[in-house]
Structure 1
Amino acid sequence: MTETGNGRWRRLLRVRGRSIAWVLPLVLLVGIVVADLDTPEQFRIISWIVLVPGISAAICAVWTTALFGLAAVVMYVAADSVWPDQYKAGLADFVLVAVGGLLATLAAAARIDKERQSLRMRDIADTIRRTVLRPLPPCWAGLEHAAVYLTADVDARVGGDFYDIQPGPHGTRVLVGDVQGKGLGAVETAAALLGTFREAGYHEADLATVAGRLETRMARHRLHTRALGRDVGDRFATAVLIAFPADADTGAGEGIELVNFGHEPPLAVGPCGVRELPSGDGLPLGLADLTGRLPPVRRVRLAADETLLLVTDGVTEARDRPGVFYPLVREVTRAVRADPGRAEPGRLVRRIRDGVLRHSGGRLQDDTTVFAVRRVRGAGNEALEGGRLRS
């Protein structure tokens, strides 16, 4: 996530964990008083002292701002009394400084209250994110995985992209997808699909049945939102559903099952290069009634040293200033060719994240998810048995 402006200011104004924000208004206070006493009578600047509580209101606590407001009044009176009567700044400037300090204190209180509200909303967003995208161990049910999720809206922190790994008695299932649209409606839809996946992915032996349950859930969720008067049109979700069998021969590679609901084709990334897996001809979740059938279940071979890479369209549709799309396949191929170790999930995900941000100049137009997973070498049924107990 991109650090906000307030976060950067707080970090810069802290030394060894303690705030030094008060230093700036203090230096300004002393500087104005000294300058006023050191300049000729034709250039009285003591009234500028009203800037001190104003600056404090932007970066300091309420009581600190109030103290600077009081100090500004006291220093104004002290500095002004040094000059002869004909050169005094007068009552009007005194009132300006006093009222300025009071208003600055009120402004500081309003800023602190708004920051607290923002922190509460951030905590709520983080809780929602952990609920939708539950934290997963780096090695889960015999799979090593890494993921990065960037929202187009920095303050939102959660959007319509989703992913999960569900171990079970029939193997380990993986789901990665992207709900059409934005906002809380997209988050709600993603949560509904993930809830169904976690149950069906564990209990159902046939991947086609899991796919059917997801399609049904999408249709039911759409009917429910319409009944509540929140019709957002024919909302759908692209997704890839993958099954890693429990009895895979991890030494020579394995066959995995894959159902593609109109999503970006997965990539198999290994020391030998990058290959695109079949995308299928399936429609997104929620649109099966247009054809009357679900996408087919395809069985593909995945080598033991290959990592399965899945991304949302925030990656493939990231543009630079001239409007050129991010060349995902070319960049991944170049990286793996230079260093085969970059096919490892963690390094692969970081490479794509950095590449997308660099290519787009940090201006993400859509939520962006990069997800990489591969079988842990030597992990067989024992790893899956552990996943059953923790699911």
Structure 2
Amino acid sequence: MRLRGRSMGWVPPLLLLAGIAVADYNTTGEFRIISWIVLVPGIAAALCGVWGTAVFAVLALLTYVTVDSAWPHQYQTGLPDFILVTVGSVLAVAACVIRVRGERRMLHMRDIADTTRRTVLRPLPPGWGGLEHAGVYLASDTEARVGGDFYDIQPGPHGTRVLVGDVQGKGLGAVEAAAALLGTFREAAYHEPDLATVAERLETRIVRHRGHTAALGRTDGDRFATAVLLGFPEDEPGAVDAVVFGHEPPLAVGPDGVRQLPAGDGLPLGLGELAPHRPTVRRLPLAPGETLLLVTDGVTEARDRQGCFYRLGEEVARAVAADPGVTEPRRLAAHVRDGTLRHCGGRLADDTTVFAVRRPPHPRDG
């Protein structure tokens, strides 16, 4: 309970304290409610800190003694109710101590979860790798705050590379697999001149990760990941290299409309041994100002109350037709995020990632 940044948790117990005292003073001697003042430290324990609760406990005892002694002897509630208020005040302070400790523990765990999220999904500076970008990540488990979706941009001497993907399954095992893939991507995308080699390194990494988890005797080691690997070659600004690993292909969103890039022939990462050849790297043309929109199945599989899927392409095309400025990555990612949440009524069945990236329409010198 805050007003202009200041805590107002003391207001309800104070009003209750004053209300009980005034009501008891203005009722007849046969109807005494001063013992209800035991509720005051109980309310304070839920809203205030330990010291605040202790203050209200003392105020409740003093108010009880003052109001009760103001009545003639035959109408006083006496020692039994005083003991009730005393015991209730002590228990309220003890309950507040337990609540505050639990809140501190919860905040500490949230800090750990946020640190884990920043480690897996590191913050990307504006204009990182010479690209305009915007990412939205919504974990289906709001307490964990991190899941199996992942994305990153890695600039390097061979151009800027982008990776967006989704590890099969949920839980900490999916987070581990996502972290393993991102670590490999950050190194391979920087050092390897060929995007196909980066793709092979990712496949090898997920297989090694599965072998490690199997050696530990874990039953969640047979994971795979769908992903899209992009490369923005420096020698051809109007093109993008793409490798699709069984993932929803990107949408190219521009002022002239929305088109879907080819799906490719790659299997999900971890299932490469089932394919007769490695996935193909395709060089695809991009119009000036076109934004590549990549999403995970939290968007494409979002359902409304009637069980209908969210029609991403149609919704984006309608928004671009109404306002071509929606193609800007930040606005585009926010539009898809809001549309997905609105479509499913805020009930996310899976981790949801929206990532939009493009070359600047008017690159600056240097």
TM-score, L = length of structure 1: 0.91
For the pair 1:129 / 2:117, whether they are aligned, the reply is: yes
Contact kept, 8 Å, 1:150 with 1:369, in 2: the verdict is: yes
1:290 Cα deviation after fit: 2.2
8 Å CA contact 2:21, 2:67 repeated in 1:
yes
Cα pair 1:308 1:372 within 8 Å, conserved: yes
User: For structure 1, which segment, 291-300 or 69-78, has the greater mean C-alpha deviation from structure 2 after superposition?
Assistant: 291-300
User: What is the DSSP-based 3-state SS (H/G/I as helix, E as strand, rest coil) of the residue aligned with 2:198?
Assistant: helix
Shift of 1:240: 0.3
**Residue 376 (structure 1) aligned to one of 330, 349, 360:** 360
How far, CA to CA, are the matches of 1:291 and 1:351 in structure 2? 37
Do residues 329 (structure 1) and 313 (structure 2) align? Answer: yes
Letter in 1 for 2:131: L
The yes-or-no answer on 1:260 pairing with 2:244 is yes
Give 2:347's match in structure 1, choosing from 354, 358, 363: 363
Amino acid in the other structure paired with 1:105: V
- Cα distance in 1 between the residues matched to 2:183 and 2:340: 30
Q: Which residue of 2 aligns with 1:187?
A: 175
Provide the aligned C-alpha RMSD in A. Answer: 1.4
1:284 and 2:268 aligned: yes
Equivalent position of 2:226 in the other structure? 238
Residues 251 and 259, structure 2, Cα contact 8 Å, conserved in 1: yes
Q: Could you tell me which amino acid in structure 1 is paired with residue 313 of structure 2? A: V
User: Structure 1 pair 95/160, CA: closer, same or farther in 2 (3 Å)?
Assistant: same
Correspondence for 2:162: 174
Contact preservation (8 Å) 2:302, 2:343: yes
Task: Give the Cα separation in 1 of the matches to 2:67 and 2:314.
Answer: 69
**Is the aligned partner of 1:25 residue 2:33?**
no
Q: Displacement of 1:30 after TM fit?
A: 0.8
Q: 2:217 matched to 1:229?
A: yes
Compare 319-328 and 267-276 and name the one that shifted more. Answer: 319-328
CA contact (8 A) 2:138 2:352 kept: yes
Q: 1:387 corresponds to which residue? A: none
Q: Aligned AA for 2:345?
A: G
Q: How does 1:314-353 map to 2 (within 5 A)?
A: 314-353=298-337
- Considering Cα pairs closer than 8 Å and 6+ residues apart, tell me whether 1 or 2 has the greater RCO: 1
Contact 1:54 1:100 in 2 (8 A): yes
In structure 2, the residue corresponding to 1:165 is in which secondary structure?
strand
In the alignment, the residues of structure 1 paired with residue 361 and residue 322 of structure 2 have an alpha-carbon distance, to the nearest angstrom, of 23
Alignment partner of 1:207 is 2:195: yes
Alpha-carbon contact 2:289-2:360 (below 8 Å) kept = no
Deviation per residue, 1:280-316 (Å, 9 max, x gap): 2321111112234332222211111210000000011
1:69 corresponds to which of 22, 32, 57:
57
Q: Hey, what's the Cα distance between the residues in 1 that align with 2:314 and 2:83?
A: 67
Unaligned runs of 5+ in 1: 1-12, 384-391
Determine the structure 2 residue equivalent to 1:6. Answer: none
C-alpha separation in 1, matches of 2:46 and 2:277: 60
Counterpart of 2:346, as a letter, is G
Per the alignment, do residues 305 and 92 of structure 1 end up closer, same or farther by CA in structure 2, a change over 3 Å counting?
same
Q: Is 1:165 aligned to 2:149, yes or no?
A: no
Runs of 4+ in 1 over 6 A off after TM superposition: none
Which stretches in structure 2 are left out of the alignment for 5+ residues?
none
Find the aligned partners of 1:321 and 1:100 in 2 and give their Cα distance.
47
Deviation at 1:40, TM superposition (A): 1.5
Map of 2:286 onto structure 1: 302
Measure how far apart 1:100 and its partner are.
0.7
1:146 is aligned to 134
Q: Distance in 1 between matches of 2:169 and 2:79?
A: 60
Match of 2:88 among 52, 77, 100: 100
Aligned partner of 1:269 in structure 2 is 253
Per-residue displacement from partner, 1:24-82 (whole Å, max 9, x unpaired)? 11111011011001011222111110110001001101011011111111211211112
Confirm or deny: 8 A CA contact 1:169 1:246 kept in the other structure: no
CA distance in 2, matches of 1:69, 1:35: 19
C-alpha separation in 2, matches of 1:100 and 1:37: 22
Partners in 1 of 2:357 and 2:121 — Cα distance?
A: 16
Residue 23 of structure 1 deviates from its aligned partner by 1.6
Classify the secondary structure of the residue corresponding to 2:178: helix
Q: Residue 220 of structure 1: CA displacement?
A: 0.3
> Does structure 1 retain, via aligned residues, the 8 Å contact 2:213–2:221?
no
- Contact 2:133/2:330 (<8 A) preserved: yes
Q: Structure 1 residues 328-337 or 116-125, which shifts more?
A: 116-125
**What amino acid does structure 2 have at the position aligned with 1:221?**
H
C-alpha separation in 1, matches of 2:4 and 2:221: 53
How far residue 18 of structure 1 moved from its aligned partner, in angstroms, is: 2.3
**Cα offset, 1:21, TM superposition:** 1.2
